[in-house]
Amino acid sequence: MKTQVCIVGGGPSGLLLSQLLQRNGVDTVVLERQTRDYVLSRIRAGVLEQGFTRLLREAGCGERMDREGEVHHGFHIAHQGRMDRIDLTALTGGKSVMVYGQTELTRDLYEARDRLGGQVEHSAADVALHDLTSTKPYVTYKRGEQTLRVDCDYVVGADGYHGVSRKSIPSEVLQEYERVYPFGWLGVLSRTRPVSSELIYANHERGFALCSLRSQILSRYYVQVPLSDSVEQWSDDAFWDELKRRLPAEIAANLITGPSIEKSIAPLRSYIAEPMRYGRLLLAGDSAHIVPPTGARGLNSAGSDVYYLFAGLVDFYRKGSAAGLESYSQNALARNWKAQRFSWWMTSLLHRFPDNSPYQNKLQLTELEYLFGSTAAQQALAENYVGLPY
């Protein structure tokens, strides 16, 4: 096969980029290790910043999101027995976020790819990248016994943290930065009415909790748990009891519980790799960086990578200018480091750290006091939460 851009990974990053490129006359092939059903069974966060929603509309994939998604103008932080609201719209001069599940969004992207006849090769095994520092790189993969080859101008590594792309950068070139947090999030999805129309992030002495939602009939809740816990240890009843303990009494009293339809534990981690470009390989999304979910930056950071890549590749094919691709790593990293900072900050603000000294715990409470006593501090939170410009 021959294409202009070979995209490894058919998650949101790879699909969105291939859709944007094809609509602008650039030919792509997407290679995905899993089946489509498998990709669509993953449940992940669902808060989209405005830049991301713009990009989805530009890709011709925003219609269902605009119909079924919820525009949120603020969220709450519960702490020391009270609830304070971050008024995103007032603090950012009119901006908001869109609550729309990543699973639904990925489904919309697949359907859009189908409509345009986009080429997505599923169950592509043993993907390997070759000759990345030449002007004629290629990618090989296996389907059954057959080995196939895709010749291209550029390879985009959008294959997530466990993918092959980042690992194809020589170790003497790749710099990795990581922080592992000493806890995870136990998440439950339930077909119940959300306890609050806006998200509630809770800082509690028993640990962090989050009340989120997918729609007015589908709720998503989380509690901070030690990494040694397993899902089997947590019955639905135990989960609901713990969640209620960490919420203000009047919220807990209104919580509607029900059977979980999904329950999982995710460890929290910050990770970023540099550079994001090596020869003709360009990394995008989770393949290059991971953030803890606290600030809802994961998918949104993938979105800014896709934006820079899309602009750089279109310039390359339309104007013959490689300038955008040359500066891709630098531009994408500058924004991604800010997402790292914000996610780390929000995680530090809201969780219980088992090794924190009483001094550090006092500072955390002071940080919350300061936040809700200072419009400037709230503005700093809000401008990051709705997404820094790109």
How far apart CA 388 and CA 338 sit, in angstroms, is 8
CB of 98 to ligand APR, least distance (A): 14
Structure tokens at 260: 């979980």
CB of 210 to ligand PHB, least distance (A): 6
Please list every residue from 13 through 32 that binds ligand APR, using CB under 6 A. Answer: 13-14, 31-32
How far apart CA 308 and CA 80 sit, in angstroms, is 42
Nearest to 9 by CA among 156, 150, 114: 156
CB of 303 to ligand APR, least distance (A): 8
Q: Which of 106, 294, 300, 340 is in the footprint of ligand PHB by CB under 6 A? A: 294
270 binding partner (options ligand PHB, ligand APR, none; Cβ < 5 to 8 Å by kind): none
Structure tokens at 334: 């500058």
How far apart CA 138 and CA 362 sit, in angstroms, is 55
- Are 176 and 273 a contacting pair, CB within 8 Å? yes
User: Among all residues, whose Cβ is closest to ligand PHB?
Assistant: 212
Does 153 bind ligand APR (CB under 6 A)? Our answer is no
Does 12 bind ligand PHB (CB under 6 A)? Our answer is no
Between 3 and 192, whose beta carbon lies closer to ligand APR?
Answer: 3
CB of 186 to ligand PHB, least distance (A): 12
What's the chain's Rg over C-alpha atoms? Answer: 21
Please list every residue from 278 through 307 that binds ligand APR, using CB under 6 A. Answer: 285-286, 298-299, 302
Written as one letter, the residue type at 253 is A
CA 28 vs CA 4, 23, 88, 343: distances in Å: 6, 11, 38, 32
Nearest to 60 by CA among 97, 23, 27, 25: 23
Q: Which of 293, 303, 312, 387 is in the footprint of ligand PHB by CB under 6 A? A: 293
Binding window for ligand APR (CB under 6 A); candidates: 11-19, 21-29, 78-86, 377-385: 11-19
DSSP code of residue 164: S
Does 351 bind ligand PHB (CB under 6 A)? Our answer is no
How far apart CA 69 and CA 97 sit, in angstroms, is 10
Counted residue by residue, the chain has a size of: 390
Q: Which of 112, 120, 164, 169 is in the footprint of ligand APR by CB under 6 A? A: 164
- With a CB cutoff of 8 Å and minimum separation 6, the contacts of 365 are 79, 80
Binding mask 295-314 for ligand PHB (x = CB under 6 A): -x------------------
386 binding partner (options ligand PHB, ligand APR, none; Cβ < 5 to 8 Å by kind): none
Instruction: Kindly tell me the burial class for residue 134, based on how many C-beta atoms sit within 10 Å of its own C-beta (0-12, 13-18, 19 or more).
Output: exposed
202 binding partner (options ligand APR, ligand PHB, none; Cβ < 5 to 8 Å by kind): none
Q: Which of 45, 78, 155, 339 is in the footprint of ligand APR by CB under 6 A? A: 45
Q: Which of 4, 23, 24, 44 is in the footprint of ligand APR by CB under 6 A? A: 44
Nearest to 280 by CA among 123, 172, 150, 176: 150
How far apart CA 81 and CA 354 sit, in angstroms, is 21
294 binding partner (options ligand PHB, ligand APR, none; Cβ < 5 to 8 Å by kind): ligand PHB
Does 47 bind ligand PHB (CB under 6 A)? Our answer is yes
Q: Which residues of this chain interact with ligand APR, rule CB under 6 A?
A: 8-14, 31-34, 39, 44-45, 124, 127, 158-160, 162-164, 285-286, 298-299, 302
